[in-house]
Structures are given as C-alpha cells and as structure tokens.
Amino acid sequence: MQKKFMLGNEAIAQAAVESGVKVVAGYPGTPATEIVEHCASYPGVYTEWATNEKHAFEVTGGASLTNQRAMAVMKHNGTNAAADYLMHINFTGVKAGLVLISADDPGGLSSQCEEDTRILIHNYAHLPVFDPSSVQEAYEMTKAAFELSEKTELVFALRPVMRVNHAGGMVEYTDIIPEARQAEFIINRKRFVMSAVVEKESGGELRPKMRHRWLNNKQTELKAVMEESPFNWTEQAAGEVGFIGCGIGYAFLKEAEQIYGKKLPILKLSTLPLPEGKVLDFAKGRKKIVIFEEIEPVVERLIKQLYFDNKIAVEVLGRDTYLPKEGELTSNVALTALESTLAGKPYPTPQQGKYIPARTRTQCPGCSHRGLLIAMKEVVRKNGGIVTGDIGCHDAGTFEPMNLQATIYCMGSSIPMAYGIKAAGFDKPVYALIGDSTFFHNGLTGLASAIYNRANITVVIAYNSTTAMTGFQPHPGSPNNLKETISPIEPGTVAAAMGAKVFRCNPYNVEETVKVISKATAEPGVKVVIAEALCYLKFGRDGKISYTPRQVKIDTDICNGCGICVRTFGCPAITIVDNKAVIEASACNGCGVCVSVCKRGAMK
C-alpha cells in the first residue's frame, strides 16, 4: 500500500486504472470533470470527451460488451441526458465491469439545478449505487464497483457529491495496474437486442418483459451483496435515538458527534439497495431514527417502507419529515438536528441571514462573449425581440448588468424554446444564444427540428473553440480532442448543410456584429450567426487572440460620468471614480469592446 494526498476525482480515476479500466468517456461538468482528465494521463486507457453524456455512456456500453472494463463520467444533469440508455442497459446488463460516475451537486453550487441522481439510477433503473463518504471511500468503492459490476452483470454507479469530488485527503492505494485483456465481442442478440421480440423459449413472452424480470430477480443478489458490503456498518452506543449517515451525510454526522462530545448509536449506510438486515437490527430498542442524506429522502423512504413491511414502529426522521428539504447538508445542520431530536424538539426554522454584497459571476475582461452580449442587447433593444439562453460562460449575460437572455434551462434547450415562442404567436424576433460545445452536445437536433418545421428564428452560436465554463475541455469544434490534433467540425458548415442561412461575425467588433445579426433577423427562416472568436482565457496564454490589443483611454473632457459603461456593460476593469470612468490597467486585457459602448465617444 502507498499513501498519497489526492483529490476525490483523482482517487476515483486512480481506482479505475487499478481496476484495469480500458475505456473512459464523459462530458465535462462540475464536479466530475477532472476524473476523465486524470484517466487521460494513463497511456493505456482510451479516454474521450463525447459530445454528450448519453453518447459517453453508450461508448462505455460498447466497450463493456467487448470484454473491456469501462467507465462513464458525468454530472447529474448529464445523467438526465443519459437516462434513455440507462433504461435499456439496466435490462441487458453488461459483460466486463461498467461503472457509471454520476456526480451530484447538493445546493446547486455549480449547476442549473439540484437533484439526486440516486433516484434515477436506483429507484427508477433499479441499479446499485455507492454513495462515498470520503475520498478514501470513493477510491475503495470505485474498485469494488468494477468487481461487482462484472460479477452481477449490472452497471454499478458511484454517486459522489461535490464535497467528495473536490475534497483532498490522504488515500491509501496499491498502484498496481492489471494486465490488459483481450478484446472479444460475442454476439448475443437475445440479450443485447432490446426490442419487442417474441421469446419462443419463454412461452411467447415479449423480450422487454422478460428482461425486466431478469432485472427484478437480480435485486435479491444485490441485497445479499450489500448485506456483506464493507461500506455499511453500525457503531454501537446506548440511546433511544439512533442516527443514520449516508455518504457525505455520515461525514457531517460524525463531525457533529465530535462537537457534541458523546458517542451516539450510528448506522452508516452507503449502498443502494440497503443492507436490510442491518437496517432492521438498528431499529431494536430505538424510538426514533434520524437520517442524514444528500439530497432527497431516498433512504428515508426505503427505510420507512422496510419498517412498515416488518411491522416495526419507530419514528423515522429525515429530509422528508424533519430536516431542511432543499440545499446542502452541513455539519451544523447535523449538529442542530442531533441536539433538537435528543431534546425532543422540532428542527428550528432556519433564520434568514443578513445579505452581504455578492460577487456575481461575469465574463472575464477580454472575453469575446461580452462583445456578443452587448451587440445582441443593442439589437433586441431596438426590435423588442426575445433571447433564449443556454449553458455556458455566456449565461452570465442573464445577470446584472447585461440582463439579456430571458431563459436558461438545460443543454440545447435554447433553439426549440426559441421557435416554440414563435409557434405560440410571438410577433417580434426571437433569438437562441448557444455556445459551441453545447451546440454539439444537444443543439444539433434542435436546429434540425427548427429547420424541418420551417421556423423563423435566429440562432447565434458563440464559437470560442473550447468548453470554457468547466475549464477548457475540447469539443468537436476545437482543434484537438483529448489525444490528438484534429480538423474541427465547424458549426457554420454543419448548419449550412442542414439548410440554415449562415452568417458570420467577430464579436469583438460590436458594430459589425449588430449589423450581421440585424441582417440575419430580416431574412425569413432559420438563420445561424456564427460569432467566432477564440476564448481569451484559454488561447490568450499561447498568444492566440481574436482581436488587436489596444490600450483604451478615457477622454476625461468628454466623459460626463453617465456610467453607461458600468451600468449596462459591466466589464470588471471599468469603474466610476469622481464622476469619471476609470479603466484599471492591471485588469484590462485591451479587447476594446468598451469603445463602442460609450455613446459620447469618451473611450478611445
């Protein structure tokens, strides 16, 4: 055994490599991104960024059937996108070990929503889930997941949360990488062809029903596995109130126990299905049980059902009945709950804190999106149009001071939503603003749908050649993939091939961008504007930028301190001091976009 300080994501990657993983595929998303990047540093592992999570999962499915261990990596929103494949591979099962990493983000700290993918994977797809409580456990669970996946022929999922993915801790690991296996694909249509086929041998039953039965029968085997699992245990202590910690909820509970200063009866549960024997035993002599889990009351409801079925009368408290229903657990929530339940009191109503001025996210100084956003704002200010938004750095255009996009939902939703607004009869122009990585993720099919249905919208693709938001991962429109240099798939060429009228502009040139978007708007049908400029932060390091740098000066004789440059534009480098605009030289990257914002011409 060796010992090293690792981030949770590094520990998961290390465990996968030690398990002989051959194929790793994912789509970038906080907090899971670095798992794929760590795997990519091992030459024997095929690693890729797929265009979306469904495809990543499908790639790993193909690898598993070819007798190679594989791992699909995604954040919770991605697991939603992959749900269709999930609901088929659960019925077919797998050949070589296949592990799904579905990272949740309690509190939505870096996400569009907060959700608990244990529901999707376990309650819905009936697949097993490990919920790690620490970095070390994430490592151990990943290794166990590969072994058990192969043994049970089922996809095993690891559901880490932000506080495991992005936490660092000391990890004991072996660093032994097994010998490579032989690739082998054995055709077995009865198993791997999911279709409404009549199964003669099963008395003429349809295959979906038969495979459903196979999956249901597997649950007994899984329950036996979890009963013996080293990831569930009981910590004995006297007391009528027992506490259950699930995953990171266990870490917060233990922290609270330390502060409270007295040993408590604790059941640590980190697997789904539950180890039912342990859960039933824990009820003995208890009047009340309090459960800490992220995010939804999944374990709480399963335990209530188990106790009901076994006629056990214990009060079960958790996120459904006692704790805050939304947001992230903390050690302090656990401590408050612990003190309140032991005192027989309700959980105190959380008090709203005093507002401390926020540091909102915005585009970096020098970002091409700021030019695009201000140009689009200019266009819709004049024509009363609506902009539907999408996921990416440009989504900060919805905040003060840009206030541009009217909607943000999930990946690729901007395009169908835009033409839905038109279909409903909205008579002014509608724009969909989408990034390049998101366009390849789930925008392509929406664009085809718009063109096919003869929509009248303008789609603006912010083409900066990287997935900037998650830390500059490449995508099909980039000059490289994870392994090598490629010839990029140019979004405008794709859109033109579909039949869209394609326009191009450099968003650093605001006047030109306004003109191009206005011209596109005037045309009928689906228009696509490619606003092309390299991500300053990513490519600027290598000296590649899409503007001619210039030092913008304020003409203090012309500047009357109106503040439009701050109030509507919001570049972090600009402030108003003593009623005059000031550009902080150390923050300014010389993009010059602000020049077109000042209507008095004070910025030169």
Partner 1 sequence: MKFDLVIAGVGGQGNIVASQAIAQCAMDAGYNVVNTETKGAAQRGGSVLSHVRFADGPIFSPIVPQGQADILLGFEPLEALRYISILSKSGKYIINTAPVPTILANMKVDVYPSHEEMLAAVAAQGLEGYRIDATQAAKDLGNVLLTNVIMLGAFTAITGVLPADAVLQKLLSMVNAKFHAADKEAFNRGREMIKAKL
Q: Which residues bind partner 1 (CB under 8 A)?
A: 5, 109-110, 133-135, 163, 166-170, 248, 250-252, 254-256, 258-259, 330-332, 335, 356-364, 400-401, 469, 563, 566-567, 570, 572, 574-576, 586
Q: For the CB of residue 250, give the shortest distance to partner 1 in the complex, in Å.
A: 8
- Residue closer to partner 1, measured from CB, 97 or 106: 106
Q: For the CB of residue 195, give the shortest distance to partner 1 in the complex, in Å.
A: 45
- Residue closer to partner 1, measured from CB, 77 or 134: 134
Instruction: Find residue 554's DSSP bridge partners.
Output: 603
**What residues contact 337, with CB distance under 8 A and at least 6 apart?**
256, 290, 292, 317, 322, 323, 347
Alpha helices in 546-596 (DSSP H): 564
DSSP string, 16-32: HHHTT--EEEE---TTT
As given in the structure block, the two tokens for residue 212 are 């459903």
Q: For the CB of residue 296, give the shortest distance to partner 1 in the complex, in Å.
A: 21
Instruction: Kindly give the interhelix angle for 8-18 and 33-40, rounded to the nearest 10 degrees.
Output: 50
DSSP string, 176-242: PPPPPPPP-----HHHH--S--EEGGGTTEEHHHHHHHHHHHHHHHHHHHHHT-TT-EEE----SEE
- Residue closer to partner 1, measured from CB, 113 or 170: 170
- Residue closer to partner 1, measured from CB, 200 or 354: 354
Alpha helices in 425-509 (DSSP H): 436-438, 444-452, 491-498
Instruction: Find residue 582's DSSP bridge partners.
Output: 575
**Burial (0-12, 13-18, 19+ Cβ within 10 Å), 434:** buried
Q: For the CB of residue 416, give the shortest distance to partner 1 in the complex, in Å.
A: 27
Residue in this structure with the two tokens 């007994």, named with its chain if needed: 220
Q: For the CB of residue 167, give the shortest distance to partner 1 in the complex, in Å.
A: 4
- Is residue 10 a contact partner of residue 34, using CB atoms and an 8 Å limit? yes
Q: For the CB of residue 111, give the shortest distance to partner 1 in the complex, in Å.
A: 11
- Residue closer to partner 1, measured from CB, 401 or 590: 401
- Is residue 73 a contact partner of residue 56, using CB atoms and an 8 Å limit? yes
- Residue closer to partner 1, measured from CB, 401 or 479: 401
Q: For the CB of residue 387, give the shortest distance to partner 1 in the complex, in Å.
A: 21
- Residue closer to partner 1, measured from CB, 89 or 251: 251
Instruction: Return the closest-CA partner of residue 27 out of 77, 70, 90.
Output: 77
- Residue closer to partner 1, measured from CB, 344 or 353: 353
Greatest distance between any 2 Cα atoms in the chain: 91
Q: For the CB of residue 53, give the shortest distance to partner 1 in the complex, in Å.
A: 21
